[in-house]
Structure 1
Amino acid sequence: MKPVIGCLGAGRMGRGIAVVFAFAGHEVVVVDFKQRERSAFDALAAEAAAEIRSTLDILARIDLLRPELVATIADRIRIVPRDEAAAVLPRCGVVFEGMPEILDLKRTALAEASRLAGEGPIIASTTSTILVDDLSGSIEHPNRFLNAHWLNPAYLVPLIELSPGKLTAPDVTARMKVLLEGIGKVPVVCAARPGFIVPRIQTLAMNEAARMVEEGVASAEDIDKAVIYGFGFRFAVLGLLEFIDWGGGDILHHASRYLAEALGDSRYAAPDIIAANMRDGRIGMKTGQGFMNYEGLDQAAYRERRLAAFASALRAMGLAREPVA
């Protein structure tokens, strides 16, 4: 039997997570954890239910859901006021906290929720900024607490970044991974560091794009076109570290040194691990070792699989052309 999923907070993240789990056949309880007058709650619940239904309608229109299933999936989601938290949270297998990104507010909500939920449920914060160990002190059972960072829109983006804390039990992280994989998501585990993985990378990329507009390098439209049809196209198939190995860490080393000197900014310098890999002969595919291990791999077949994935992406973008006879 699928566990009941709790969403603490009836905002955008809670609604998105509710859609994901209801889509996968789970009963979901969204708890509006802010104390409100009944009339205010009724208005919020109606708004949340309408947004959830609208999201499901969109998924049907873009062929991710059969239209006749929209009502069935929507009916799996209940939105309840704070007064009902004590009754519903202990029934949940996992509770996802999605309160606003305010440290004290999250700590207060997590303390109360963990007390009401009891020893059973795993509790996960969906915070995009606050470290797990800055929150775990509020939890009555910190061994069952971790961060689970979803990327918006939660009902479409596959990735979820899991960040266990110092006190998180290993089996809790393992159980969360199994749960998420079971609903078609792709969880990754990262250390408790600011920015997780994706926000840390995308912050650099977004700031650099804005800086290029500021410097007059190109128009905003052309920069975004370059990202979509070059950067994004390539890295939808190859991971960043895989791409370093594909071309060779030596290429990155020399390119980084040139950019740092030409632009007069050390932010373009390669990290020490690139030089260390070169020193140790871990340049990438051509040496059999890089960030990944390619020893024993049929590299020709591997490259062809990756090129086939590029070709599929090209066709999906409507850019594949027939050859001129």
Structure 2
Amino acid sequence: MASERIAIGCLGAGRMGRGIAVHFAYAGHPVTLFDLKPRAAGDFAALAAAAHDEIAATLSMLADLGLGDAAAVPAIAARVTILPAAEAAALRDMPVVFEGVPEILDLKRAALAEAAALMAPDAILASTTSTIMVDDLSPAVPNPARFLNAHWLNPAYLVPLVEISPGQHTDPAVTARLMETLESVGKVPVRCAPSPGFIIPRIQALAMNEAARLVEEGVASAEDIDRALRYGFSFRFGVLGMLEFIDWGGVDILHHASRYLESSLGDARYRAPAIVGRHMAEGKLGMGTGSGFLPWAEMDIAAHKRRRLGELIARLRAEGLARPPVLPPA
């Protein structure tokens, strides 16, 4: 599946469907957006025209920013077809279909049930929901073995990550096939258990609320907080994973910092989870002890550190902040 051109279907012609369409069309695949809402012919024509215009404009913007040739935009955009609800039978020709209707449980269940009845028996059906658990949706699908969640992050055509959350009935082979398909078009899929907020929304909700709280408490201006996040927080975490970063500095640093913040600010939200205490008790403090969240004993630590530092220097250069050393007078 990774090398062939496959037909991709998207339920819904809104922001998510259009973003997915841009990405797969850019990668050479034909994509069909299905507008599942019954509309008058004139209303559908207006929707389809707006969607086509937005997709073409997005591709043109990407070309202007160095991703592709502007001359190729019409041909890429032509890979995207938009069909009305009356032509949903075309779903039978789609090996992979993504559901992207609004985040309303009954609305999603209805769309999934309608699509599943029309699709080929071995086709993959994935919801792009960011809030609803896969097993809350799977009862709508007659064959839940071919159903799972695939959470794209906006803008879908740029952010590499897709969070894959199979349900209790999902066939592991279906999960593997979808991850292979996504990897073939340049995505970085990660698998996670069904859990509210998946991985990224759960972490970023905490970070965003804390940033807003800093403004509320008058700790710093919004501009300085964002500057600190850009050049400190995201600068490091764009290279080092968060758990890798804990191990890099040491689990004990997090343990003691959490205790201080909880005590000083009088708020249990800074309390470290039990796993941090267990790692402290077991001496699994990270890179320095050869054991932590990552399996450091199995790695060439010196080579790994050198590679990560090189990546940080590359980011420094990209920000225009890398400077040559000041040499002593000749």
The TM-score normalised by the length of structure 1 is: 0.98
Residue of 155, 158, 161 corresponding to 2:157? 155
Cross-structure match for 2:283: 281
2:41, 2:142 → 1: CA distance? 29
Secondary structure class of the residue paired with 1:321 = coil
Q: Deviation digits for residues 164-223 of structure 1, max 9, x if unmatched?
A: 001000000000010000001000000000000000000000000001100001001100
Cross-structure match for 1:115: 117
Residue of 62, 65, 74 corresponding to 1:62? 65
Superposed, 1:1-325 pairs within 5 Å as 1-86=4-89, 88-325=90-327
Give 1:281's aligned amino acid.
G
Q: Deviation digits for residues 28-60 of structure 1, max 9, x if unmatched?
A: 111111110010000000000000000000000
Q: Deviation digits for residues 259-294 of structure 1, max 9, x if unmatched?
A: 000000011011000010111121101110100011
Give 2:35's aligned amino acid.
D
Shift in Å at residue 119 of structure 1? 1.1
Shift in Å at residue 125 of structure 1? 0.3
Moved more, 287-296 or 165-174: 287-296
1:110, 1:268 → 2: CA distance? 40
Unpaired stretches in structure 2, ≥5 consecutive residues? none
Q: Is the 8 A contact 2:63 2:70 kept in 1?
A: yes
2:298, 2:179 → 1: CA distance? 29
2:217, 2:30 → 1: CA distance? 51
1:48, 1:298 → 2: CA distance? 50
Secondary structure class of the residue paired with 1:42 = helix
Q: Deviation digits for residues 142-169 of structure 1, max 9, x if unmatched?
A: 1100000000000000000000001000
1:281, 1:81 → 2: CA distance? 60
1:175, 1:62 → 2: CA distance? 32
Q: Deviation digits for residues 61-102 of structure 1, max 9, x if unmatched?
A: 00011112111111111011111111x101001000000011
Give 1:60's aligned amino acid.
A
Unpaired stretches in structure 1, ≥5 consecutive residues? none
2:122, 2:77 → 1: CA distance? 26
Q: Is the 8 A contact 1:90 1:120 kept in 2?
A: no
Shift in Å at residue 297 of structure 1? 2.4
1:152, 1:258 → 2: CA distance? 36
* RMSD (Å) for aligned C-alpha atoms: 0.8
1:83, 1:121 → 2: CA distance? 21
Secondary structure class of the residue paired with 1:95 = strand
Q: Is the 8 A contact 1:95 1:122 kept in 2?
A: yes
Shift in Å at residue 3 of structure 1? 1.5
Give 2:111's aligned amino acid.
A
Moved more, 151-160 or 311-320: 311-320
The TM-score normalised by the length of structure 2 is: 0.97
Secondary structure class of the residue paired with 1:196 = coil
Give 1:274's aligned amino acid.
V
1:9, 1:251 → 2: CA distance? 47
Shift in Å at residue 304 of structure 1? 1.1
Shift in Å at residue 21 of structure 1? 0.6
Shift in Å at residue 299 of structure 1? 1.6
The size of the alignment, in residue pairs, is: 324
Shift in Å at residue 133 of structure 1? 0.4
